[in-house]
Amino acid sequence: MGPEVWAVVRASSVKDVAALAGVSLGTVSNVLNRPDRVSPATRSRVEDAMRELGFVRNESARQLRAGHSRTLAYVLLDARNPFFTDVAEGAERAAEAAGLSLFLCHSDNRASREGDYLAHLVEQRVQGILVTPVDPHATVLDDVRRNGTPLVIVDRTRDDGAFCSVAVDDVLGGRLAVEHLVERGHTRVAFIGGPDTIGQVRDRLEGARAAWADAGLPDDQLTVVPTDGLTVVEGRSAGERLMGIGTRRRPTAAFCANDLLALGLLQQLSTSGATVPGDLAIVGYDDIEYAAAAAVPLTSVRQPRQELGRRAAELVLDEATNPDHVHEQLVFTPELVARRSTFS
Amino acid sequence: MGPEVWAVVRASSVKDVAALAGVSLGTVSNVLNRPDRVSPATRSRVEDAMRELGFVRNESARQLRAGHSRTLAYVLLDARNPFFTDVAEGAERAAEAAGLSLFLCHSDNRASREGDYLAHLVEQRVQGILVTPVDPHATVLDDVRRNGTPLVIVDRTRDDGAFCSVAVDDVLGGRLAVEHLVERGHTRVAFIGGPDTIGQVRDRLEGARAAWADAGLPDDQLTVVPTDGLTVVEGRSAGERLMGIGTRRRPTAAFCANDLLALGLLQQLSTSGATVPGDLAIVGYDDIEYAAAAAVPLTSVRQPRQELGRRAAELVLDEATNPDHVHEQLVFTPELVARRSTFS
DNA sequence: TTGTATGCGTTATCAA
DNA sequence: TTGATAACGCATACAA
């Protein structure tokens, strides 16, 4: 009979370890949590027993007793959008630094799934939740708060100050994009984005319009091309509609509400033989990795994505551990990164 | 004094609910778990108390008592690669169907982070773990098994049959790609991919070589262009090297080990003014959404990504619940999707 | 330095 | 139909 041929019937507990090592249960616990308080001899005896049994601490029991968990979670809208995975990466690093694990939950833009995840996380009593919600005003968020789980809203805001949040000044971002296009001499510009239930989309358009008005350009030369979402496919479809406009009235530049739209638009244009920026200049938003690496490198509005995630994690930890915590709404400043898609 | 102005001091427990409703603790538990065994009158009284206190079941305690959790986890290599998020989506749906939650853990290709997550998940006693490991032969995986947590390897395989796994026949995939290029008349082809520590890369190259040999073409006309990873950036760099070869000896087609490489290559070519497929035909691998939507739609080898995730989740659940479970190594068949990048 | 005892919140068994 | 009680595995206060 070789070693370890028996099946695992039940995971071993501190009790099993104590029995095998010939010590008490409390001593095993001390080896685990305050190894300094136990003599080297017994400690190694206990550690041998742990190894032999393949002992793994039961986190449920630990958490029940300790009263707090060692995990954070980020509930995100779209795992395929590099913007969110970059935010997640920033949060992940902050969590790692604090000795916590970060679990990602993909709501896929569906309120029901978001609600299920939130409920589960509250039941799990995680240390804190980061969430980019489908709707920042939905009451599910208040329910989480009511149950005492710290929650930070990421990349969205709420006017009532009920939560910490981290976001970027999207009105300013929209302004930067359009100011850039105006400087480049464009007098007919399209704004591509939607649906306008998304606050970001509204804000970026608002900033765009403000810059447009400031430049003294007429309202009807800023065309809005609505989309049903912020995806590559929607960008291609918007491109078709845009190129359907007669050349005389067609905008000479487009400001897209995010980079995925811009990439879709870019692809549609090169399929139909149009050139960028010759036939159409393009400004995107988010400055995702693919923006710089696109066939025509994309001018884009950069957001400090990792920073967003990092600060969100820090805020949620502060809320979890600091009794004097007060909610903060952080607003970061975006930055325009000019590339070939707006330079002929 | 308005309602709910008091701070949350401690989440309420069944005990609190019982006290407020004027019933025993066991009755509250019955309302939670076997509502039929309690009279409508007391049930609604208990439910009112729950609402008033904002009671939420403590999952740690539930799990400690019940002995099993309600969560699955998928530890993935690269959250930015749509391949993995599609696999995750398939797993998510299977989990949802089984009434479980799926947590995503991003190892970011780092063995240490993978190990941390795995250890944490085992401590949490999750129902099962799906993992696309940095190294399928690493002993961390065996440690998980030893501790009794079901584990399924995704998109990788191990020869020893110690785990369930779901994967795609990559040798066949490589063969399909090169057979296609040979049919299109190419006699100088580049294989772009690396590092060859990745089993996939080796397999796809092996299939490519087999097809090449079967076609009776000379070894030295299948050039290997090694890369340090499977990313867009690496694809661009490979493109530069490829275009540095004199036109007389330069391959007329490239088979990339994944679509991100192919997209990077495509971008590099259009930057340098080369045309696809005129100057270089391209075949990618994975058929991610962006492949079809690229500036030149990409011929690619499609893998059943969601199916992979779905079956992996089913296998891990079988291992978790079926005492007669036997390990299975599922191998799916890839399929070539021909698009413009190989048709002039 | 080590052992003993208690309780975290829940579920389930059993008795009333 | 409802109530009392034990147990899950662990960490800690306290006693030895």
Cα angle value A283/A289/B190 (rounded, 5°)? 115
Residue numbers in B near A289 (CB within 8 A): 80, 232-233
Confidence of residue A1 (pLDDT cuts 50, 70, 90): very low
- The pair of three-digit structure tokens given for residue A73, joined into one six-digit string: 């979670």
Query: In chain B, which residue's Cα lies nearest the Cα of A78?
Result: B85
Confidence of residue A7 (pLDDT cuts 50, 70, 90): very low
Please state, in angstroms and rounded to a whole number, the distance separating the CA atoms of residues A60 and A58. Answer: 6
pLDDT of residue B137: 94
How does pLDDT run along chain B (344 residues), one tens digit per residue? Answer: 333 333 445 789 999 999 999 999 999 999 999 999 999 999 999 999 999 999 999 999 999 998 889 999 999 999 988 899 999 999 999 999 999 999 999 999 999 999 999 999 999 999 999 999 999 999 999 999 888 899 999 999 998 999 999 999 999 999 999 999 999 999 999 999 999 999 899 999 999 999 999 999 999 999 999 999 999 889 999 999 999 999 999 999 999 999 999 999 998 898 788 999 999 999 999 998 878 777 788 999 999 999 999 999 999 999 999 989 999 999 999 999 999 999 97
| Sign of CA pseudo-dihedral A44, A46, A51, A55 | negative
Please state, in angstroms and rounded to a whole number, the distance separating the CA atoms of residues A101 and B119. Answer: 10
Name A residues 114-153 whose Cβ lies under 7 Å from strand C.
Answer: none
Q: Dmax over Cα atoms in chain A, in whole Å?
A: 90
Given a contact cutoff of 8 angstroms between Cβ atoms, the answer to whether B177 and B301 are in contact is yes
For residue B40, which nucleotide's C1' is closest to its Cα? D1
Mind listing the pLDDT tens digit for each residue in A75-128? Answer: 999 998 889 999 999 999 999 999 999 999 999 999 999 999 999 999 999 999
The residues facing A192 across adjacent strands are: A225, A256
Provide DSSP, B43-89: HHHHHHHHHHHT----HHHHHHHHS--SEEEEEES-TTSHHHHHHHH
Residue numbers in A near B122 (CB within 8 A): 56
Residue numbers in B near A108 (CB within 8 A): 89, 92
Those residues whose beta carbons lie under 7 A from strand D are A 10-11, 13-15, 25-26, 29-30, 32-34, 55, 57-58, 61-62, 64-66; B 22-27, 30, 37-39, 41-43, 61, 64-65, 67
Query: In chain B, which residue's Cα lies nearest the Cα of A63?
Result: B60
Mind listing the pLDDT tens digit for each residue in A16-58? Answer: 999 999 999 999 999 999 999 999 999 999 999 999 999 999 9
Please state, in angstroms and rounded to a whole number, the distance separating the CA atoms of residues B239 and A231. Answer: 27
Please state, in angstroms and rounded to a whole number, the distance separating the CA atoms of residues A134 and A162. Answer: 17
Inform me whether the pLDDT recorded for A168 exceeds 50: yes
> CA at B329, C1' at C12: how many angstroms apart?
39
Q: Quote the strand ranges of chain A, DSSP E.
A: 71-76, 101-106, 128-131, 151-154, 164-168, 189-193, 222-226, 253-256, 281-286, 299-302, 329-332, 335-337
Summarize the confidence of residues A158-178 as an average pLDDT. Answer: 96
Q: Do B85 and A96 touch (CB under 8 A)?
A: no
pLDDT of residue A223: 96
Q: Do A61 and B56 touch (CB under 8 A)?
A: no
Element (H, E) at A235: helix A232-243
Residue numbers in B near A233 (CB within 8 A): 289, 293
Element (H, E) at B310: helix B305-321
| Omega of the bond leading into A277 within 30 degrees of 0 (cis) | yes
pLDDT of residue A271: 79
pLDDT of residue B115: 97
pLDDT of residue A270: 81
Identify the residue with better confidence: B68 or A141.
Answer: A141
Q: Do B123 and A56 touch (CB under 8 A)?
A: yes
Q: Which nucleotides of C are covered by protein (CB under 7 A)?
A: 1-5, 7-13
pLDDT of residue A253: 98
Summarize the confidence of residues A213-237 as an average pLDDT. Answer: 95
Side chain identity, residue B56: V
Q: Do B54 and A147 touch (CB under 8 A)?
A: yes
Q: Do B88 and A101 touch (CB under 8 A)?
A: no
Inform me whether the pLDDT recorded for A2 exceeds 50: no
Confidence of residue A344 (pLDDT cuts 50, 70, 90): confident
Given a contact cutoff of 8 angstroms between Cβ atoms, the answer to whether B158 and B169 are in contact is no
Name B residues 59-98 whose Cβ lies under 7 Å from strand C.
Answer: 61-62, 64-66
Please state, in angstroms and rounded to a whole number, the distance separating the CA atoms of residues B226 and B195. Answer: 7
**A196: closest CA among A220, A223, A229?**
A229
Confidence of residue A9 (pLDDT cuts 50, 70, 90): low
3 state DSSP class of B316: helix
- Cα distances (angstroms) measured from residue A110 to each of A77, A107, A116, A200, B313: 8, 6, 10, 18, 21
Given a contact cutoff of 8 angstroms between Cβ atoms, the answer to whether B235 and B259 are in contact is no
pLDDT of residue B313: 98
| Omega of the bond leading into B195 within 30 degrees of 0 (cis) | yes
Please state, in angstroms and rounded to a whole number, the distance separating the CA atoms of residues A132 and A78. Answer: 9
Q: Do A123 and B89 touch (CB under 8 A)?
A: no
Q: Do B59 and A11 touch (CB under 8 A)?
A: no
Mind listing the pLDDT tens digit for each residue in A256-310? Answer: 999 999 999 998 898 788 999 999 999 999 998 878 777 788 999 999 999 999 9
pLDDT of residue A128: 97
3 state DSSP class of B263: helix
